[in-house]
Amino acid sequence: MADEQAPGILALPELNGKIESGEIDTVLAVVPDLFGRLLGRHIPGIRFLEETTKQGFWLPGALFVPQLGTGSRPGAAVTSGGDIRCRPLLETLRLAPWLDRTALVFCQSLEATTGQPLAVAPRSLLQTQLDRLAEAGYRAQAGASLDFYIFNEAPGSLRARAYQGPLPAEAFGGPADSLPAGRLEPLLANARRYLLRGGVAVAHSQGTAAPGQYSLGLAPAGVMALADGQALAKQCLKLLAPQYGQAVSFMAQVTAEMAGSVAALRLSLWSPAGRRNRFGGEEVLGPGRASDECRWFLGGWLRHLPALMPFFAPTVNSYKRYVLGDGWRVAWSGRGYPAGVRVVEGPGRGAELESWLAGADVNLYLAYAAWIAAGLDGLAHKTEPPDLLAEPVLLPTSLAMAVDALAGSDFARQAFGDAVVDFYVAVFRQEQAAYELAVTDWERGRYFEQI
């Protein structure tokens, strides 16, 4: 597990030189929101160097509550109802080649009154759990493969007809089919190139389960770097696709007829120096071997998973994928067995955990924060996982059920704090309420004439 600086990451003197030469004239300073969208502002390069690096800037505190039409924003009290200060994290400064003459930097969200990290901010939530992991004597490595669909229509055209009848970019295709993927290389290849130049460790892209569906593989990295990479990859693809008359979607279930889109996530724990995979061992675990630490981490995760599902499946649409695919019953296994959770061979002569639970709409900051919190509890209590394949964990089948489980979880409140849990419960309930107010095409088709 190496700590090498990724290509595209900029030191401040490098940025200064690129601004002086005219190669860069804008810095996009961002914070990820609850859905992993990058919110922030475009700052002239000189002003960023002279002012923003020293003072930061202010954004509305309510930005962490997604706007759903008009009305109040539940959870505003958690952010003091006012502004938040954004402090650039200069170690994340990088090129953003998919934008014209632009660099990008992630920011830390700070409370206006105390100057402390804003606990509900997704990056803060993950950093808190990574700090707890370090205190326990571990560091984490993670990787991901992110599904998405490409459609042969510009976003504006799809939007004008309420996203009805989206046409996948290819009429045929399947897992690793290189012919249809090759026809989409103008988009996919540029996305890979731009992301690599922007410090995102892209491993591959390939066709997946259905025509027009592709996955982007992100190579093993630190957990925060991986979550940043997901946010950047989604922004890059969404900005590039319209240039080719196309659109991309990271919905978990675009239509009932199309295959769902998954985020395959991997996680392993390492020694503090990153030299030894702590999940590696000689204890029997399913069809393979791993350490007691791996077994207990798995046990804690599976024990608390039902209460933490909003962090893995944050939208109403997330649960359509589970119901349509019978994914609400989750067992664990080794490689070669069909299961939502697997223990597989990992790097460093060790093992790693692999999850197929989350959909493409997952926010990796939240998912890995929840995964690590549950695993740490398993380590602390030496929690045994259920029997291999024989005892499936039953998951909530709707966002409403999942949020109720989160609200009532003593573990979640202990791991994240009451204020954080109450904030996320309020926001997810707002999402559910917005859905329940909608009158759908299905309802009109079923009831308009017949009732």
DSSP states along 365-393 = HHHHHHHHHHHHHHHHHTPPPPPTTTSPE
Alpha-carbon gap, residue 383 to 361, rounded angstroms: 29
* pLDDT at residue 338 in the model: 59
As a whole number, mean pLDDT of residues 19-39 equals 96
- Angstrom distance (rounded) from CA 292 to CA 284: 9
pLDDT score of 340 = 83
User: How is 53-112 classified by DSSP, letter by letter?
Assistant: HHH-EEEEGGGGS---SSS--TTGGGGTTSEEEEEE-GGG-EE-TTSTTEEEEEEEEEET
Q: How many CA atoms lie within 13 A of 280 on its CB side?
A: 11
Q: What angle do CA 417, 263, 3 make, to 5 degrees?
A: 75
Domain boundaries defined on the chain? 9-143+260-451
The Cα–Cα gap between 194 and 232 comes to: 10
d(CA 79, CA 423) in angstroms, rounded, equals 9
- In eight-state DSSP terms, residue 138 is -
The pLDDT of 367-373, averaged and rounded, is 99
* pLDDT value of position 61: 79
Calpha distance 44→52 (Å, rounded): 10
Asked if 247 and 151 count as a contact pair (C-beta separation under 8 A), the reply is yes
Work out the burial of residue 133: count CB atoms within 10 Å of its CB; fewer than 13 is exposed, 13-18 middle, 19 or more buried. buried
Q: Which two tokens stand for residue 228?
A: 């940043």
Greatest Cα-to-Cα distance within the chain, rounded to the nearest angstrom: 69
Token pair 């009805």 is found at: 164
Distances (CA, A) of 52 to 29, 37, 86: 9, 21, 9
What is the token pair recorded at 230?
């997901």
What does the alpha-carbon distance between residue 426 and residue 404 come to, in Å, rounded to a whole number? 11
Condensed to tens digits (0 to 9), the pLDDT of residues 435-445 reads 999 999 889 88
Q: How far apart are CA 62 and CA 78, in angstroms?
A: 9
- Cα distances from 267 to residues 92, 299, 301, 401, in angstroms, run 22, 14, 12, 27
Please say if the pLDDT value at position 3 is more than 80.
no
86 φ, ψ (degrees, to nearest 5): -110, 120
Torsion angles phi and psi, residue 39, rounded to 5: -110, 145
Q: What is the pLDDT of residues 175-229, one digit of tens each?
A: 766 776 677 889 999 999 999 999 999 999 998 888 999 999 999 999 999 999 9
Task: Identify the band that residue 5 occupies on the pLDDT scale cut at 50, 70 and 90.
Answer: low
Q: Tens digit of pLDDT for each residue in 342-358?
A: 888 876 678 999 999 99
Alpha helices in 145-291 (DSSP H): 155-160, 178-183, 185-197, 223-240
Residue 18 pLDDT class (50, 70, 90 cuts): very high
Q: What is the mean pLDDT of residues 366-390?
A: 94
More confident residue, 6 or 213: 213
Q: Judge whether 306 and 394 are in contact, CB under 8 Å.
A: yes
Given this model, what pLDDT does residue 348 score?
65
Q: CA-to-CA distance for 226 and 220, rounded, in angstroms?
A: 8
Q: Which of 222, 215, 319, 329 is nearest to 262 (CA)?
A: 215
Query: Could you tell me which residue, 73 or 290, shows the higher pLDDT?
Result: 290
Is the separation of the CB atoms in 149 and 167 below 8 Å? no
CA torsion 182-187-191-193 (nearest 10°) is 60
- The residue length of the chain stands at 451
Task: State residue 450's pLDDT score.
Answer: 87
pLDDT of residue 284: 87
Strands 283-285 and 213-222: unpaired
Look up residue 442 and give its two tokens: 């299905």
Integer angstrom CA distances of residue 359 from 43, 239, 447:
33, 21, 31
- Whether the CB-CB separation of 354 and 341 falls below 8 Å is answered with yes
CATH code for residues 9-143+260-451: 3.30.590
Of 189, 33, 173, 204, the C-alpha closest to 106 is 33
In terms of pLDDT, which residue wins out, 338 or 420?
Answer: 420
Mean pLDDT score, 248-259: 94
